[in-house]
Amino acid sequence: MKKTKRFAALALSTVLAMTVLLTACSSNEESPANKNGTNKTEEGEQITLKFSFWGATIEKKTVTEALERFEKKTGINVEPMHIPADYITKLTTMVAGNVAPDLGYMTSGSGLSWAEDGKLLNLSPLMEKDPDFKKEDYLDQVWYETEPGNIIGMSISVQGYGLMYNKDMLLEAGVELPPTEADKAWDWDTFIEYAKKLTLDDKGRNALDPEFNPDKIKQFGFQYDPYNMMAAVVSNGGNFLTEDGTGFGLAQPEGIEAIQKLADLMYVHHVSPTPLQTKSLPDMALQTKKVAMTVSGNWALQAFAEQEFNLGVGVLPKLKESNTLLDGAPMVIFSSTKHPEEAWLLYKYMADPEQVLPLIEGGLWMPLKKDWYTDPELINKWAAGNKAHPEGYTDAFMKQTLENGVRTPGFEVKNLAKINALVTPALDLVWTGKQTAEEALKGIEPKVQPLIQGYYGR
């Protein structure tokens, strides 16, 4: 009996010892920074990283929780710096006062110009010496690069664009639902016809009716933000600059034609609200049936999912080629950081879709990694079986982003802020019906031309 008790005690001691050993090993595996000593400086001071970001309630909560998990995993302290408004102004003040964050969000235009001024770190050396990081694991369109070999960061998230609509309104009007596959995208004439059928005046007559009254519209077939114009320009074979980066692309025939067609939606076809009419529309225009279809980026799906209506999605109507616009501000590491290697650890962590899954699953973001668009198991984590990702989303947004995503000019056009200082007011004349696209764009072309400096990253 005593022998049995001694054996049991020995076995228990062995189990306890193994438990302690395994726990220690597990702790080390979860905290590589502790293991390598990188959570402290050579002088023994605890490392603290400052991470700056913007965003509403759900984004603030998700990002803050991700930073807290990183802290527990690595032993590196992280101070969240949530800046919900006047982000660049406040960041500029911090940089000037030598109290810049270590890493965080950045707007696209400022990011590229700040990189040229030496304010942002080139991530290429950190990427190249990191055996756990593979650039090819991420979407090709997400990289911000000032020149070959000088990468300042990835997009915070991917933002593909598509057609979003109130499915009940289309079904009631007998309108074919928008295609979700690129090779079946509506051509422009088909799109106009359906948009007219969905536009009603105060007597219930649609815009195809000869008696339709464009001054008394109670329901618009389509609504868009002129900011999204580049999808139409590229679909028509144009771009912001010419292909060689030496000319003003919007003033070329392809750009002019596309922009005029967008303006014609308001002033010729009367299917889309003018800027003045837009001001009187409610925020929930799709839900309240004031608008049947709209164009927006992926982020709008989060808000739509919270509204009670039958949401549908499709690919954008095309002029010549089907595409989607891709947007996304960069996440960067500031060159003033005293802890570049630790900042890189946090950078990688925040670029991992798993760490910000609530934002992706909820419809605000799209993931940065390619396998989240191709692996069924990963796709099911975010893009299937929830209100933010309706039927057809995987084709209309995911596949379209992978295969036909066109980046906004903010990713690559040099001197964009100064060029846009001329382009924006000129296009405002088009959107308000005061000038044709040709008059406005040809009118500023001589002033834009001297400002053109080509493309980043080429």
Q: Would the pLDDT of 2 be above 50?
A: no
219 and 272 co-located in one domain: yes
What one-letter code names the amino acid at 211? E
Q: Would the pLDDT of 453 be above 60?
A: yes
| Structural domain includes residue 222 | yes
Q: What is the pLDDT of residue 38?
A: 61
C-alpha Rg value of the chain to the nearest Å: 26
Specify the long-range contacts of residues 69-72, CB closer than 8 Å, at least 24 apart. 69/355, 70/345, 70/346, 70/349, 70/350, 70/355
| Of the listed ranges 8-17, 165-174, 281-290, 358-367, the one predicted with least confidence | 8-17
Place of tokens 């593979």: 134
175 and 265 co-located in one domain: yes
| Structural domain includes residue 118 | yes
55 and 102 co-located in one domain: yes
Place of tokens 């292909």: 243
Residue 71, both tokens: 């802290």
Q: Write down how long the chain is.
A: 458
Cβ(180)–Cβ(334) below 8 Å: no
Residue 153 domain boundaries: 48-158+328-351
Give tens-digit pLDDT for 278-309: 999 988 999 999 999 999 999 999 999 999 99
Whole-number Å distance between alpha carbons of 41 and 243 = 48
132 and 179 co-located in one domain: no
Q: Would the pLDDT of 17 be above 90?
A: no
Give tens-digit pLDDT for 62-87: 999 999 999 999 999 999 999 999 99
| Structural domain includes residue 357 | no
286 and 151 co-located in one domain: no
| Structural domain includes residue 26 | no
| Structural domain includes residue 379 | no
143 and 190 co-located in one domain: no
| Structural domain includes residue 284 | yes
Mean pLDDT over each residue of the chain, to the nearest integer? 91
144 and 241 co-located in one domain: no
Pairing mode, strands 405-407 and 324-327: parallel
304 and 426 co-located in one domain: yes
Q: Identify the CATH number of the domain in which residue 415 sits.
A: 3.40.190.10
pLDDT band with cut points at 50, 70 and 90 for residue 228: confident
* b/e per residue 323-332 (b: at least 16 CB within 10 A): bbbbbbbbbb
Q: What phi, psi does 121 have (nearest 5°)? A: -80, 140
Question: Cα 246 from chain centroid?
Answer: 28
pLDDT band with cut points at 50, 70 and 90 for residue 36: very low
Number of domains in the chain: 2
pTM for the model: 0.88
Closest of 202, 387, 389 to residue 372, by C-alpha: 389
Give tens-digit pLDDT for 177-196: 999 999 999 999 999 999 99
